[in-house]
Amino acid sequence: MAEKSYISPEKLIDGKAVADVCNAETAKRVAAFKAKYGIAPFLHVIIVGEDKASQTYVRNKAETARAIGMGSVTEELPATVTQEKLLARIAALGGDAGVHGILVQLPLPKQMDENAILAAIPPAKDVDGFHVVNAGLLATGQQGKALVPCTPLGCMKLIESVHGRDLSGLNAVVIGRSNIVGRPIARLLEQANATVTILHSRTRNARAFTASADILVAAAGKRGLISEADVKPGATVVDVGINVVEEGGKRMVRGDVDNAGVAAAGRITPVPGGVGPMTIAMLMENTLKAAELQTG
């Protein structure tokens, strides 16, 4: 259930609606790809262990892939699997011409070196965009050749739905510096001509920065991080936080932004129903892009 919001409905950015439009467009392009090459783009997802939240995310990814006409397999490995075994599976999939995208769901069990696993995925099949080659292409402005991380791409589409593609003259503030969200979204915002500031856990007086943000991206994974006094009136607020909290005896998913307290925001993404559906839509686009790069 969406959080009770004191923000008028027209201020909410409906991520599900934008994702539906993206997926419909990808489905058309998938049909054209099949007609041209006689094969469907194929996504292979690996999940290690039995984390319930990860299983839900992975199921949604595979179901969406099939719904838009792509092939998809989810491979479940036990939490006790060795790093060598996982690396061997990735190597086999890397050499399989029928597999266009490989995604290893994170987090991985403690015995795994996450960076080593991500480095083993061939960059052309790295639909998460986490490989250092893809990160490097993005960082050097070669986005067209790169597979770019899905959540940052999804955030950009939502921002685009409000501000258009050119963010010249706008101040963007990103809270969080993870390789999955904070760093790549800062690169994308800068390449769209925004003036970008990255805040993190060691930043002093964060409010001095957030209060001048025309676009505020909260990606710290901290419930209640952003409240009214942090937000410039009229700003666009993108909430990437996924925090599971207890409310009235129920487990609920909530963002980093206190929706009840940021009525001053111009536009805001809800949690759930904002960035989440966009992440999956962008994974579909990336899988198609990977298939095109490998086949074309």
Catalytic positions, written as ranges? 61, 105, 128
126 belongs to the binding site for ligand GUN (CB under 6 A): no
Q: Could you tell me which residues come within 8 angstroms of residue 20 by beta carbon, excluding any fewer than 6 positions away?
A: 277
Q: Which is nearer to ligand GUN, 103 or 148 (CB)?
A: 103
Phi and psi (nearest 5°) for 95? -90, 0
Among 3, 128, 230, 256, binds ligand GUN (CB under 6 A): 128
Output the smallest distance, CB 84 to ligand GUN, in A.
Answer: 20
CA distance 135 to 143: 9
CA distance 190 to 205: 23
Among 27, 106, 132, 264, binds ligand GUN (CB under 6 A): 106
Among 103, 117, 217, 284, binds ligand GUN (CB under 6 A): 103
Question: Which of the ranges 74-82, 103-111, 138-146, 153-161 carries the binding residues for ligand GUN, by CB under 6 A?
Answer: 103-111
Among 197, 267, 203, 279, residue whose Cα is nearest residue 235? 267
Output the smallest distance, CB 59 to ligand GUN, in A.
Answer: 13
Among 68, 137, 150, 262, binds ligand GUN (CB under 6 A): 150
Question: Which of the ranges 75-83, 102-110, 156-164, 255-263 carries the binding residues for ligand GUN, by CB under 6 A?
Answer: 102-110
The contact set with ligand GUN (CB under 6 A) reads 103-106, 128, 150-151, 279
